Amino acid sequence: MVSLGPNYRVKFSRRREGKTNYYKRYTYVLSKATRLVVRLTNKYVIMQIVAFNPNGDSTVVMAHSIELCKKYGWKGDCNNTSAAYLTGYLLGLRAKKAGISSVVADIGLFTPIKGSRIFYAIKGSVDAGINIPIGDELEFDEDRIKGKHIVNYAEKLEKENPDKFNRIFSGYLGRGLNPKDLVSHFDETLNKIKSMGG
């Protein structure tokens, strides 16, 4: 039973809502570290480089996965592993332009799980040239980054159940992308991000 006596303290609203871990926040403030903040929503990947400021943190650069569609012609989903990596790469290029070479990862209240999209987003920034300590135990699947697992599923589903294939991949098909072409489309989008320099 929760105590509601005179010594009961109501937690901060952002902690009650599950938005902020104030202990982690406290350690970041003490270290004055520049942070790579990664947030995943049901539709998008949002990444920011946030610098410490005594008067309130300031966002130095940011990247949003919707930019992949609007600026670089991405036709896949905006919240899958491929989109997370591309968004991370885009942020990494922008960070380098802003003179940032090293940051610490801030994944907020997400539970760190191997193979999570959040680490593939960070991997994108690392591959773009930003130094981010994430440990040596993490392993990244290059085929997964490019969406090969989606391609394999799409090929299997199209043979076994064409109606289900059209239903599940209606978003891809509606945007003009056959999911079986996702790997080549990923390479094309990544090259475009590199050529445009973020």
- The verdict on residue 37 lying in a domain is yes
Give me the number of domains the chain comprises: 1
- The verdict on residue 191 lying in a domain is no
- The verdict on residue 88 lying in a domain is yes
List pLDDT tens digits, range 13-57: 766 666 656 555 555 555 678 999 999 999 999 999 999 887 877
- The verdict on residue 172 lying in a domain is no
What are the CA-CA distances from residue 108 to residues 32, 38, 130, 138 (Å)?
16, 8, 20, 18
Consecutive H or E run containing 16: helix 13-16
- The verdict on residue 168 lying in a domain is no
The CA distance from 161 to 58, in Å, is 50
pTM: 0.85
Could you list the residue range(s) of the whole structural domain that residue 140 is in? 13-145
The CA distance from 130 to 90, in Å, is 11
List pLDDT tens digits, range 129-166: 999 998 777 889 999 999 999 999 999 999 999 999 99
CATH number at residue 95: 3.30.420.100
- The verdict on residue 179 lying in a domain is no
Nearest Cα neighbor of 50 from 116, 16, 98, 87 is 98
Instruction: Output DSSP code: residue 78.
Output: S
Of 110 and 153, more confident: 153
- The verdict on residue 17 lying in a domain is yes
Question: Could you give phi then psi for residue 94, rounded to 5 degrees?
Answer: -70, -35
